[in-house]
Structure 1
Amino acid sequence: MVFNWISRAPRQLLGLICLACIAMLGFGMYLQHVVGLEPCPMCIVQRYALIGVAVFTGIGALRGGAGWWKTFSFLALLMAGFGAFVAARQSWLQWYPPEFATCGRDFYGMIENYPISRSLPMIFRGSGDCTAIDWTFLGGSIANWSFVCFVLFAIVLLIALMRGGARR
Structure 2
Amino acid sequence: MALPASRPFYLLSLIFCASLIAIALYMEHILGLEPCPLCIIQRALVIMVGLVSLIAVLHNPLPSQGQQRRVAARAYAFVLTLFAVLGGAVAGRQVWLQHQPADQLPSCLPSLDYMLDVLPLQEMLSLLFSGTADCAKVDWTFMGLSIAEGTLLAFIGLSLFGLMQLIRNTD
Q: Which moved more, 1:117-126 or 1:141-150?
A: 117-126
1:44 alignment counterpart: 40
Letter in 1 for 2:37: P
Structure 2 counterpart of 1:99: 103
Would the alpha carbon gap of residues 97 and 22 (structure 1) be closer, same or farther in structure 2, given more than 3 Å must change? farther
Between the aligned partners of 1:147 and 1:158, the Cα distance in structure 2 is 16
The 8 Å contact of residues 92 and 152 in structure 2, kept in 1 or not, is answered as yes
Per the normalisation by structure 1, the TM-score is 0.89
Task: Letter of the 1:78 partner, please give it.
Answer: L
Equivalent of 1:120 in 121, 125, 128? 125
Residue of 7, 23, 34 corresponding to 1:11: 7
Per the alignment, do residues 127 and 15 of structure 1 end up closer, same or farther by CA in structure 2, a change over 3 Å counting? same
Q: Deviations over 1:40-66 (max 9, x none)?
A: 000000000001000011101110323
Q: Percent identity?
A: 32
Hey, what's the Cα distance between the residues in 2 that align with 1:87 and 1:118?
Answer: 20
CA contact (8 A) 1:11 1:69 kept: no
| CA positional deviation for 1:111 | 2.6
**Distance across 2 between alignment mates of 1:97 and 1:28:** 26
Q: Deviations over 1:149-168 (max 9, x none)?
A: 001011011012111xx233
Is the 1:60–1:70 Cα contact (8 Å) retained in structure 2? no
Shift in Å, 1:74: 1.2
RMSD of aligned residue pairs (Cα, Å) = 1.7
Secondary structure (helix, strand or coil) at the match of 1:105 reads coil
Q: Please, which runs of 5 or more residues in structure 2 have no aligned partner? A: 64-68
Q: Please, which of 48, 58, 64 is the counterpart of residue 62 of structure 1?
A: 58
1:93, 1:126 within 8 Å by CA — same for their partners in 2? yes
Distance 1:107 1:127 in 2: 13
Once residues 73 and 29 of structure 2 are traced to their aligned partners in structure 1, the CA distance between those partners, rounded to angstroms, is 34
The structure number with the bigger radius of gyration is: 2
For 1:83 and 1:139, the matched residues in 2 are separated by 21
| Structure 2: distance between partners of 1:126 and 1:14 | 31
5+ residue gaps, structure 1: none
**Aligned residue number for residue 129 of structure 1:** 134
Question: Could you state the TM-score of these two structures normalised by the residue count of structure 2?
Answer: 0.88
Q: What residue in structure 2 maps to residue 150 of structure 1?
A: 155
Residue 108 of structure 1 deviates from its aligned partner by: 3.2
1:9 Cα offset (Å): 2.5
More helix by share: 1
Q: How far does the alpha carbon of each residue in 1:127-165 deviate from its partner, in whole angstroms, 9 at most, with x for none?
A: 1210100110111111101000001011011012111xx
Q: Give the length in aligned residue pairs.
A: 162
Are the counterparts in 2 of residues 81 and 154 from structure 1 also a CA contact under 8 Å? yes
2-side partners of 1:151 and 1:111: how far apart?
30
